[in-house]
Structure 1
Amino acid sequence: MLKNALEQFRVMGFLEGSSLLILLFIAMPLKYGFDLPEAVSIVGAIHGGLFTLYCAAIVYVTFVVKWPFRFAIGAVIVAFIPFGNFVLDNRLKNWKKAQAA
């Protein structure tokens, strides 16, 4: 299924990025608009766990793929930007194609 470290990282980025969007655009409005703080507690805990795994995936892929250090720093930065992981995923697809050629 997931053949290499880069594909594994891309899946982890998708999961982490999705959890950030759910936290920001669903759980936070439920907390502040409908007085349901449990939504942020649950989604926030899930997002925190996924973020931790995402950071571990960054370290793993940096060593396995031999990424430049700036790629690792960029991967951490985009985790804090809504939709950032999806932009990074698109660039990784293009980078992977360029590496194969």
Structure 2
Amino acid sequence: MDIKTATSLRRLRLVSAPEAISFLILLVCSVLKRTTEFNAVPVMGVIHAVLFILYVLFWADAWNRTKWPRKTAALYFVLSVLPTGGFFAERKLRRESEDALIASRARREGVVETS
């Protein structure tokens, strides 16, 4: 993978955890709205929507650059709509982006990969 691919994976990874946190906070706000007078749903809804849109845009870019199989791409998308899925996506993407960055640096320095 090249450096642009590693960068796209890193962007997706960096937005996945905040998106998951915003989803969980939005769920808590929804419960509080129905059980108390506290209503932060409009604010958290906008924050979560922005983070979700960024996740989907970065997901599409990463899929395009990495040429993931459909199964892998679908897994990352499904993880975005599960309340804690972003945390799992972040962990998996961290490993994948680090591997891509190492491979990119090795190619740039002329190190031949052996399988």
TM-score range, shorter chain: 0.7 to 0.9
* Percentage of identical aligned residues: 29
Higher RCO (CA-CA < 8 Å; seq separation 6+):
2
Are 1:77 and 2:41 counterparts? no
Q: Which residue pairs with 2:12 in the alignment?
A: 9
Cα deviation for residue 69 of structure 1 reads 2.0
1:48-94 deviation per Cα after TM superposition (whole angstroms, max 9, x unaligned)? 12111111111101112222222221111111212111112222233
Instruction: Write the distance in 1 (CA, Å) between the matches of 2:83 and 2:94.
Output: 19
Instruction: Write the distance in 2 (CA, Å) between the matches of 1:52 and 1:13.
Output: 11
* Residues 1-101 of structure 1: pairs in structure 2 closer than 5 A: 4-25=7-28, 27-37=29-39, 39-96=40-97, 100=102
Instruction: Write the distance in 2 (CA, Å) between the matches of 1:46 and 1:97.
Output: 28
Instruction: Write the distance in 2 (CA, Å) between the matches of 1:74 and 1:19.
Output: 20
- Between structure 1 and structure 2, the one with the greater Rg is 2
Instruction: Write the distance in 2 (CA, Å) between the matches of 1:57 and 1:29.
Output: 30
TM-score (norm. length: structure 2) = 0.72
Equivalent pairs counted in the alignment come to 97
C-alpha distance 22-49 of structure 1, shift in aligned 2 (>3 A): same
TM-score (norm. length: structure 1) = 0.80
Aligned Cα root-mean-square deviation (Å) = 2.0
Gaps of 5+ in 2: 1-5, 104-115
Does the aligned pair in 1 maintain the 2:10–2:94 contact within 8 Å? no
The secondary structure found in structure 2 opposite 1:35 is coil
Amino acid of the residue matched to residue 63 of structure 1?
N
